Structure formats: C-alpha cells, structure tokens
Structure 1
Amino acid sequence: MESKQTDKRKIRGESSKTKIIEASKTLFIENGYKETTISMISKNAKTGYGTAYTHFPGGKEEIFQIIIDEILKQFYQIASVAYKVNSKEDSLILTQGNIERFLKLAIKHQQELKVFHEAIGVSHIINQKWESFIEKFIKRISENVQQAMDKGLTHHRDFDPEVVAGVLFYTGEKYLWKIALNKTDKDYRTISKSLAQMYVNGLYK
C-alpha cells in the first residue's frame, strides 16, 4: 500500500516538474530571461509557488539550465562524432557538413538561443555553462587538428591545435549568435562553405 502511494507521489512529482519546465520554455521565449519570474512560471504551470522551488531549488536559473542543456547536447553531438582525417578533400567535406549542422541547429533553436544569449550576460552560472561548452567543443576539434598534424597533412607541424580549433569555433560562434539574434540575412550554407574553405585551406597542404 505504502509503495503504491510512493509511486503515485513520484508520478505526480514528475508531472509537476514537466509542467514547470514546459511553462518556463514558453515564458522565457515570450518575456526573455530577466523578466521571467518563478511566480509567472508557477501561475502558467498551474502549480504552487513553493512547488517550483521544491523541484528546482535554484529557481529559474536551474530551470533554464535544464532547458538549455538539451539544446547544447545536440550541438555537442556534432563534434563528438569520431572521424579519421585522411585528406584535405575529406576534411573539407566533413568540416562544411559539420558547420552546416551547427548553424541549422541555431536556426531550429533560434528563440531559445536568443534567451540564452541574454542569460549569459546576466547569470554567472549560465555564463560558466557556455564557457564550459566552448572549452569542451574546442578540445574535440583540436583532436582532429592534432590527427591531421600527426599524419603530415598540415602546412606546418608546429601549429597549436587548440588555437587552430579556436579559430574555427569562435568564427562559427559569431554566426551562431547572428542567427539567434536575427542579425544576418546570409544563408547558412553560404556561411558554412566560406568558413570550411578558410579553415581547411589554412590548415592543410
């Protein structure tokens, strides 16, 4: 009997958490990060004010991190796919494809990323999350750069892989935010092609 009651409470709790997260997504997009409050979220989710803090002691900051984590996972999947560097031509195809996928995700999640951009500027914790993501992403790209260097495919053997990887990432990041903030009318394929050619031609023989 007690076990069934525990299960019911758990189900109600999970349902409540889901409602809060879904309500938060809507409100963050409608009002922005700074203007969205726990009171607004609780009302929209039809839950008590205290219920939101019971599930998310860190308040809206914690809720937003959960929302953005799902999006960042999709971005990191692009970098996490292992590949073997065999030639300049292969690298160009792969790099352009990866940049296209990166920017297509920016288009898909434009509204959430716009809020994320604002949150980075007002929340130290969320800013740290983005910085951690950047570090992880660049490290993964640098592994590919090192692989190309080890195979003697690059112009120089003394490139710093992390610096080279950073050039690619930070240029891509610039257009990520341009897309999120609706500050470019360039097609993502045009951007991807130019960035890939610049990166690969600069790195490879």
Structure 2
Amino acid sequence: MSTKEPSTNRQQQAIQTKKKLLKAGREVFLQSGFQKTTISQIIKTANTGYGTAYVYFKNKNDLFIELMEELMIKFYEIAEKPFEPTTRENAHEMIANQVNLFLSLAVKEREMMQIVKEAIGVSEEVNQEWKNIQERFIKRIAQDIHYAQSQNLAKQNLDPTLVARGWFYSNEMFMWELVDNESHHSMDEIIRHLTIIYTSGLYFQNQF
C-alpha cells in the first residue's frame, strides 16, 4: 500500500500540471495569437517551472497540437455519428444534419479555429498535424460512402476515397469562410447547396 500511494499521487500531480499548462496555453494563444505566443508566456501563466513544462511539451508547437487535437475531438464526434440510411431521402437528411453540426461547431469555436488557421500557415509541425486530421475525416467519410454503395443507394462507379476527399475539402473551404466571417451567404444556404450537390452527384437520381 505504501509503495503505491506516492506513485498515484505523482501521477495525479502530473495530470494536473499538464492540464494547467494546456489551459494556460489556450488562454495565451487566444490572447496573443499563435505567432506572438511564447512558451515562456505559457509557463508564466501556468505558474510552473521551465523544467517542469518541458517534461510535457518540447515547445509551443507541441503544446498547441495537443490543444488542436482536443478541439478536433468535438468534430470527430460529429463525423463518427452512425450513418446507416435506408433511403436516399434519409441519407440526404442525415448528410445535411452532419454539415450543419460541423459548420455550427466551427462557428461556435471561431476564436480557437482562427488560431488553428494561423498556426497551420506558419508552423510546419501544425500543418502536418492538420493534414493528418484531414485524412482521418476523409477516411471516415469514405466509409459512409462505401456503406451507401453497399446498400445500392449510391453510384457504384465512384471511388469512395476520391469523393470523400472532394466532399471534405468543400466543407473545409466554407468552414474557413464562416470562421473568418468572409462568407457572403448564410449558413443555411451553404448547407443546402453543399448537400444537394453532394447527394445529386453521389446518389442515384431522386427528387430531394
């Protein structure tokens, strides 16, 4: 018993220290932006020592990537929602709902997403991680397309991965426009057009 308690206490302390650094990092990134933020600022805000901080993160890029991954979990939850349509109309409804949830979350997390976009543009490490994130989404979308094809709802002569890639990048483009307040169209208009274009191209002809 006595040999386990110190280890458990150290583990809990380590978890709390890491959480403090991540919380401080988010705060400083949102306040100063990605480029102007330094690891020193984060350490000072977290009120931890330099040596302690570097146990968990090798630099600010490393810390930011973990923050970005935490944020992406919310988006993954949308992508991972069960997709088992029984009709083309059902698929259309489910796809429109997913697009709505995806874009709405991006707008809700606008401030942090703006920092993500900045970081992608200036950090090769963050940019590479974003590419990994893109591929994870594309792979999940391709699975949904393959399911629709297996149910004879979607066209068999289309490559699921190619369609998924085009679909994801279309959503991503509108996502960044909404995050940057650069869209000239309402979110409802974007969702409707994206869904119609996607379902009309992928699914067998039907009146949506």
Common fold by TM > 0.5 = yes
The superposition leaves residues 103-129 of structure 1 with CA deviations (integer Å, 9 ceiling, x where unpaired) of: 111012111111111111222222122
Q: Give structure 1 stretches of 5+ with no counterpart.
A: none
Tell me, in whole angstroms, the C-alpha distance in 1 between the residues paired with 2:20 and 2:32: 18
Equivalent position of 2:23 in the other structure: 22
Aligned in 2, Cα 1:8/1:186: closer, same or farther, shift over 3 Å?
A: same
| Structure 2 counterpart of 1:36 | 37
Residue in structure 2 matched with residue 169 of structure 1 by the alignment: 168
Look up the match of 1:157: 156
Per the TM alignment, residue 51 of structure 1 is displaced from its structure 2 partner at its CA by: 1.9
- Structure-1 separation of matches of 2:197 and 2:148: 16
Judged with a 3 Å threshold, the aligned counterparts in structure 2 of structure 1 residues 88 and 45 are, in CA distance, closer, same or farther, namely same
Separation of aligned partners in 2, 1:197 and 1:148:
16
Distance in 2 separating the partners of 1:9 and 1:84: 45
Aligned residue pair count = 203
Judged with a 3 Å threshold, the aligned counterparts in structure 2 of structure 1 residues 147 and 4 are, in CA distance, closer, same or farther, namely closer
Report the CA distance shift for 1:43/1:148 in structure 2 as closer, same or farther (over 3 A): same
What is the Cα deviation at residue 8 of structure 1?
3.9
- The DSSP-based 3-state class of the residue aligned with 1:129 is helix
Aligned to 1:184: 183
Q: What is the deviation of 1:139?
A: 1.6
Paired amino acid for 2:89: E
Q: What are the ranges of 5 or more consecutive residues in structure 2 without an aligned counterpart?
A: none
Amino acid at match of 2:99: I
Summarize the alignment of residues 1-205 of structure 1 with structure 2, pairs less than 5 Å apart. 3-56=4-57, 58-154=58-154, 156-184=155-183, 186-204=185-203, 205=205
Mapped partners of 2:132, 2:6: distance in 1: 41
Cα displacement string for residues 76-120 of structure 1 (whole angstroms, at most 9, x for unaligned residues) = 122222322322211110000000000111012111111111111
Tell me the C-alpha RMSD between the 2 structures: 1.9
Deviations 1:128-153 (A, max 9, x none): 22111211211221222223233333
2:195 aligned partner, one-letter code: A
Report percent identity of matched pairs: 33
Q: 1 CA distance for matches of 2:29 and 2:21?
A: 12
Contact 1:38–1:49, Cα closer than 8 Å, also in 2:
no
